């Protein structure tokens, strides 16, 4: 029984393998958001939280910012991202699969109007392709992020 408790405790403390595959994100990034009629530069910083069980991103731009918490649920076999913006809005997105280099999300809260795909391009670049449906309009966007030089 004691051995079972020790094994279980060790398993709970370990970073889930898919989440560990995003370790290259830890640090600072320069990003560019592009959508029809909109271009926005922003900074993103990633760090592990909750003993490595959550990856936290803090994004900031002139006049705003948001925070995202990303976790992998091994029992469900998928990703959960929670985005909190500085206006007090929250979005919850879910993605299936375990590939940390390609994660396709769909929002589940407050509605299903967002589809976003994260793709690792290299150790120093990633992209986010998004489609947002709101108020009868559909907006497609691309974010390109590159690692800041160390």
- pLDDT string in tens for the chain (150-residue length): 443 333 333 334 444 578 999 999 999 999 999 999 999 999 999 999 988 899 999 999 999 999 999 999 999 899 999 999 999 999 999 999 999 999 999 999 999 999 999 999 999 999 999 999 988 999 999 999 999 875
Which domains can be identified in the chain, with CATH numbers? Answer: 29-147 (2.40.128.20)
Q: What is the pLDDT of residue 135?
A: 85
DSSP states of 64-114: EEEEEEEEEETTTTEEEEEEEETTS-EEEEEEESS-TTEEEEEEEES-S-E
Report yes or no: 120 and 100 within 8 Å, Cβ to Cβ. yes
Q: What is the pLDDT of residue 148?
A: 80
Q: What is the pLDDT of residue 14?
A: 44
Predicted structure pTM score: 0.85
Q: What is the pLDDT of residue 52?
A: 84
Phi, psi at 16, each rounded to 5°: -55, 135
Report yes or no: 137 and 147 within 8 Å, Cβ to Cβ. no
């Amino acid at each position: 029984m004691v051995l079972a408790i020790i094994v279980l405790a060790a398993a709970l403390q370990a970073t889930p393998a898919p989440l560990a595959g995003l370790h290259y994100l830890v640090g600072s990034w320069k990003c560019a958001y592009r959508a029809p009629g909109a271009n926005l530069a922003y900074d993103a910083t990633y760090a592990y939280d909750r003993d490595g069980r959550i990856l936290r991103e803090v994004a900031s731009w002139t006049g705003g910012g948001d925070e995202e918490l990303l976790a992998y649920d091994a029992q469900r076999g998928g990703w959960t991202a929670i985005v909190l913006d500085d206006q007090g809005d929250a979005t919850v997105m879910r993605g299936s699969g375990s590939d940390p280099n390609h994660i396709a999300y769909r929002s589940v809260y407050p509605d299903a109007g967002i589809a976003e795909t994260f793709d690792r391009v290299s150790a120093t670049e990633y992209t986010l392709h998004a489609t947002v449906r709101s108020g009868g309009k559909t907006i497609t966007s691309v974010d390109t992020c590159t690692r800041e030089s160390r």
